[in-house]
Chains A and B, each alone.
Chain A
Amino acid sequence: MIPVAANPLAQSLAAQLQIAQNLVSHYNYWVVIVLMMVGFHILIARGNLIRKIVGLNVFQTSVFMLYISLGKISGGTPPILAGGVGHGETDAHGAAEGAHQAAEVLYSNPLPHVLILTAIVVGIATTSVGLALAVRIREAYGTIEEEEINAIEAEAGA
């Protein structure tokens, strides 16, 4: 990407540019990690079960963002074929033309999108089960605070 320069000044400039690019190019990943850790912190530091589930959701969404970041290509477009598809089915010539057109456009990677679509739906399923469990715990113990549940359990055991 950066043309290799002969003189050392330009080389060191190129190296500095590389470091700066690294910083910019990894900013996405680092913010994702910060978000992930915020979710993790909510998950382990808070006693309220519903807030724990919110933390789990935050963690989960940050993983989604990581995957989508991996699939993004700078200057790319969403992976929806630009030429359309109607003419491609009728004759071989049209299909070849369509494929040619598709090859010219830069698309982002569709595979992470598919995986994350699946993950979002599975995520809402697990969230709903978690919330249902919280509701049941509330019905059984009268509280959804971890500490109070532990206290009740200890009392029952003693």
Chain B
Amino acid sequence: MLLTLLAATAFGLVRVRNLFAVVMLAGVYSLLSAGLFTVMDAVDVAFTEAAVGAGISTVLFLGALALCGTRESKPVHTPILPLFVVCLTGIALVYGTMDMPPFGDASNPVHHHVADHYLEESEHEIGIPNVVTSVLASYRGYDTMGETTVVFAAAVGVMILLARGRRRTREDAPGEGSASPPTGGRSTRETPR
């Protein structure tokens, strides 16, 4: 099953030393999870994950690696304490799932609040066959607007962070004019999203 494969990839993420391999494994992990989303009927989520998680984020990680180098020093602390904390949290979470309704049951409470309304009425109210799209763009349109605001803020943040470093290096190198706005290269790669 895909889930088991995912778990194997995740453990690979912990073991592998080289950061380049880590980034590649993260891409594999994203793609596998996109496959899992397809199996679980979430086709919109699957292609977003494949494009954004496996595509853009791998490119971003590779860009960051190109700037930071792929060397990783050995961990200084013994991993016993984190492992203990992680196991404890995991056990608590598994205990929490005991009260959860069985997977895939149509009578689960999740499916009977607004979801029924969306499935039955969105055809008349919105008029497009893809229910996910009509919920995203219309019923929960304010969420999506907030999301774009977050993305915009993030893009601005990234540009400011990277532009500051760039300006400093420009001051060091007097050949380049510091009056030109910091466009091109790293900063603009973040914007077209």
Q: Residues of A with Cβ closer than 8 Å to B?
A: 21-22, 24-31, 33-42, 44-48, 50-51, 53-55, 57-58, 61, 64-65, 68-81, 83-85, 88-89, 95, 98-99, 102-103, 106-114, 116-118, 120-129, 131-136, 138-139, 144-145, 147-148
With the chains together, A139 CA to B72 CA distance in Å?
17
- Say whether A88 contacts B104, CB under 8 Å: no
Residues of B within 8 A of A83 (CB): 123, 129
Give, as a whole number of angstroms, the nearest-CB distance from A57 to chain B.
6
Using CB atoms, name the residue of chain A closest to B26.
A54
- Say whether A118 contacts B127, CB under 8 Å: no
Listed by A's residue number, 29 A-B pairs whose Cβ atoms lie within 8 Å are A27-B3, A31-B3, A33-B93, A38-B11, A44-B85, A50-B22, A53-B61, A58-B26, A64-B37, A64-B49, A68-B36, A72-B40, A72-B41, A73-B106, A74-B104, A80-B43, A88-B127, A99-B120, A109-B115, A110-B131, A120-B45, A122-B151, A129-B158, A132-B158, A132-B161, A135-B161, A135-B186, A136-B165, A145-B72
With the chains together, A40 CA to B83 CA distance in Å?
10
- Say whether B123 contacts A42, CB under 8 Å: no
- Say whether A70 contacts B37, CB under 8 Å: no
Give, as a whole number of angstroms, the nearest-CB distance from A28 to chain B.
5
Q: What total count of A-B pairs have CB within 8 Å? A: 295
- Say whether B6 contacts A76, CB under 8 Å: no
With the chains together, A114 CA to B147 CA distance in Å?
12
- Say whether B45 contacts A106, CB under 8 Å: no
- Say whether B124 contacts A88, CB under 8 Å: yes
Q: Residues of B with Cβ closer than 8 Å to A?
A: 3-4, 6-7, 10-11, 13-14, 19, 22-23, 26, 29-30, 33, 36-37, 40-45, 48-49, 52-53, 56-57, 60-61, 63-65, 67-68, 72-73, 75-77, 79, 82-83, 85-87, 89-90, 93-94, 97-98, 100, 102-106, 108, 110-111, 114-115, 118-120, 122-124, 127-132, 135-136, 140, 143-144, 147, 150-151, 153-155, 157-158, 161-162, 164-165, 168, 186, 190, 193
Residues of A within 8 A of B26 (CB): 54, 57-58
- Say whether A113 contacts B3, CB under 8 Å: no
- Say whether B64 contacts A134, CB under 8 Å: yes
Give, as a whole number of angstroms, the nearest-CB distance from A32 to chain B.
8
